[in-house]
Chains A and B, each alone.
Chain A
C-alpha cells in the first residue's frame, strides 16, 4: 500500500506535450493552483481547480497513476474531513478536504511529468538556490544536486524495501500478526536494514562523486540547456494572470464557503 502511494509521485518517461514543458513553467502551474486554493475555502473554486487540472493529466497520460495516488489519499482526506467537522461546518469540511485533493493533484502532476534531471537543471538556474548552496555547502550547485539525488533515490529505495520485506518474510516474519504494539515492532527488522542500505549507498555515492571531481568549479556548464518555448510563455502568462486575479479578488471581495 505505502509503496504504491509513491507511484503517484514517480516520474514517467513519456514524451507528451506536458512532459516537454519547461520545469519552471510546470512549477508556476503548481503555484497558480496553490494560490487560489489557499486563498479561498470555496467549494466551487476547489472543484474548478480540480477540473482545470484534468486536461493536463489526460494530455500527460498520467491520469491512471494520479487515480492511484488519490486512492492512497483517501485515508488522509477522511481524516481531514472528520477533524474539520468538529471545528467548523460540514461545508467548510468539504471545502478543506477538496483543497487537500487539489494540492495532492497539482504536486502529483508536477512530479509525474518532470524528470529529476530537468528539475535539477531548473533548480540550478534559480539564483536563490545557488546562493543558499554556496552559503551552506560551499558550492553553488551542491544543493540542487542533493535535491535531485533524493528524488531519484526514492524508486531505488522502494525496490530495496520490497527485497527487505521478502527477505524477512522468508525468515518467518509475519508483518500483520499480533496486537498493535507487536505490529509496530514487526517493522524493526524492515526499517533497520533499509536505513543502513540508504546510509551505505550515500557514502558510496559521495566517494564516487569525489573520485569524479564533484562539485567542480564555479562556472560549470551543463550538457542539456533548458529553453522556454512559445507554449511555455503562454502558460506562464496564464499562470501569472491567474495568480494576480486571485489576489485581486481576495483583497476586494469576501468569498463564502458556498
Chain B
C-alpha cells in the first residue's frame, strides 16, 4: 500500500506544487489523476517512487518512508512510466531497452530473457525486438517505454499521459491491458487529460487543481459535474454532454460511458416502441 499523509511540496524556486495531499493506493485500485496543466499531477507521480521527497508530510510505500529508501529500491515496486519516451530510450534494440531495468534490478539472464519476450508479446512489440527504438513511430516508442517498466512487474504502475499519440485501437488495447493488471491485484495510477478514455474505463477519479485535491470519486459522478470539470480545465465527456440534455426524458445525467448509455437508451427506446404499438 502507498500512503500519502498530508503531503506538501514546494520547488526550490518557491513554487508550491502540492498542498495537503492525502491519498491511499492499494492493489486492485485503478485511479485517474486529472487536472489542468501545472496542477501538480507529475509532481505527485514523482513522489510515489521517491524521485521527489515531500517538503511536509510523508509518503509510505509498503510501510517504508520514501525519504529513507533509495529510488532504485522503490522502483522495484513502483513503476513510473514517463510521459515522453524520448527521455528514457537509449539502447540499440528494443529488446535491450526492455532488459535494462531488469538487469539493473539484478535478475538472472534467463529471467531477463523470458520476461523481455513475454512483455514484448503482451504489448504487440515482438516484431520490433531487434529494431532500434529510434526507428519506431512516436506511438510505438511510447509502448516500448511502457514495456521497459512493465517488464519488471511492479506492484504499482504509474502512467503519465499514456494515451498521447496512440490511435483508438491502441487506446482500446491499453485499456484492456490496464484492466488485466488491476484485476490481477496490481494498482494502476494514470495521469491524463483524456476525458473520453477515463469515461470509458471508469476508474476512481482524483481531480487536482493548483496542487490540491478538489474532488474524488467514481468517474461517472465526478466527470458529469460541470463545475468540478471546469475547475480542472476539462470538458465533460461526450456521453455526459448528451445525457445532460436528455434529463427531460427521465434519463439520469451522470452517464459518461457508451456501455451504460446503450443500456439506458435501449430501455427507453423499447418502452417507446411498446407505447407506439399500443397506440396504433
Residues of A in contact with B (beta carbons under 8 Å apart): 160, 163-164, 166-174, 188-189, 192-193, 196-197, 200
Interface pick from B20-28, B69-77, B177-185, B248-256: B69-77
Task: Give chain B interface residues in 47-99, CB to chain A under 8 Å.
Answer: 49, 51, 70-72, 75-76, 79-80, 82, 84, 86-90
Given contacts A173-B104, A196-B134, contact A188 B90 (CB under 8 A): yes
- Residues on the B chain within 8 Å of A160, using CB: 87
User: Are A167 and B88 neighbours in the complex by a CB distance under 8 Å?
Assistant: yes
User: Are B149 and A171 neighbours in the complex by a CB distance under 8 Å?
Assistant: yes
What is the CA–CA distance of A169 and B51 in the complex, to the nearest angstrom?
Answer: 8
User: Are A192 and B90 neighbours in the complex by a CB distance under 8 Å?
Assistant: yes
**Interface: B207 (CB within 8 A):** no
Q: Is the interface of A mostly helix, strand, loop or mixed?
A: helix
Given contacts A172-B76, A189-B100, contact A166 B82 (CB under 8 A): yes
- Residues on the B chain within 8 Å of A164, using CB: 87-88
Question: Which of A169, A188, A193 lies in contact with B72, CB distance below 8 A?
Answer: A169
Tell me how many residue pairs across A and B have CB atoms closer than 8 Å. Answer: 60
A-B contact pairs, 27 of them (CB 8 A): A160-B87, A163-B87, A166-B46, A167-B87, A167-B88, A169-B72, A170-B49, A170-B51, A170-B79, A170-B82, A171-B75, A171-B88, A171-B100, A171-B148, A172-B72, A172-B76, A172-B101, A172-B104, A173-B72, A173-B104, A174-B70, A188-B90, A189-B90, A193-B86, A193-B90, A197-B87, A200-B86
What is the CA–CA distance of A200 and B82 in the complex, to the nearest angstrom?
Answer: 18
What is the CA–CA distance of A162 and B213 in the complex, to the nearest angstrom?
Answer: 26
In the complex formed, the residue of B with least CB distance to A164 is B87
User: Are A167 and B75 neighbours in the complex by a CB distance under 8 Å?
Assistant: no
Q: Whole-angstrom distance from the CB of B57 to the nearest CB of chain A? A: 21
Q: Whole-angstrom distance from the CB of B70 to the nearest CB of chain A? A: 7
The 6 closest A-B pairs by CB, nearest first: A172-B104, A192-B90, A167-B88, A171-B101, A170-B80, A167-B87
- Residues on the B chain within 8 Å of A173, using CB: 72, 104
Q: Whole-angstrom distance from the CB of A258 to the nearest CB of chain B? A: 42
In the complex formed, the residue of B with least CB distance to A171 is B101
Q: Whole-angstrom distance from the CB of A241 to the nearest CB of chain B? A: 41
User: Are A193 and B82 neighbours in the complex by a CB distance under 8 Å?
Assistant: no
User: Are B80 and A197 neighbours in the complex by a CB distance under 8 Å?
Assistant: no
- Residues on the A chain within 8 Å of B80, using CB: 170
What is the CA–CA distance of A166 and B75 in the complex, to the nearest angstrom?
Answer: 11
What is the CA–CA distance of A196 and B148 in the complex, to the nearest angstrom?
Answer: 19
User: Are A168 and B70 neighbours in the complex by a CB distance under 8 Å?
Assistant: no
Given contacts A170-B51, A171-B100, contact A193 B88 (CB under 8 A): yes
In the complex formed, the residue of B with least CB distance to A161 is B87
User: Are B75 and A193 neighbours in the complex by a CB distance under 8 Å?
Assistant: no
User: Are B86 and A196 neighbours in the complex by a CB distance under 8 Å?
Assistant: yes
Q: Whole-angstrom distance from the CB of A196 to the nearest CB of chain B? A: 7
Question: Which of A169, A189, A192 lies in contact with B75, CB distance below 8 A?
Answer: A169
Task: Pick from A167, A189, A193 the residue with the most CB of B within 10 Å.
Answer: A167
- Residues on the B chain within 8 Å of A166, using CB: 46, 51, 82
- Residues on the B chain within 8 Å of A171, using CB: 75, 88, 100-101, 104, 148-149, 152
In the complex formed, the residue of A with least CB distance to B70 is A174
- Residues on the B chain within 8 Å of A170, using CB: 49, 51, 71, 75, 79-80, 82, 149
What is the CA–CA distance of A60 and B83 in the complex, to the nearest angstrom?
Answer: 38
What is the CA–CA distance of A186 and B167 in the complex, to the nearest angstrom?
Answer: 35
In the complex formed, the residue of A with least CB distance to B12 is A4
- Residues on the B chain within 8 Å of A163, using CB: 82, 84, 87
In the complex formed, the residue of B with least CB distance to A177 is B72
In the complex formed, the residue of A with least CB distance to B90 is A192
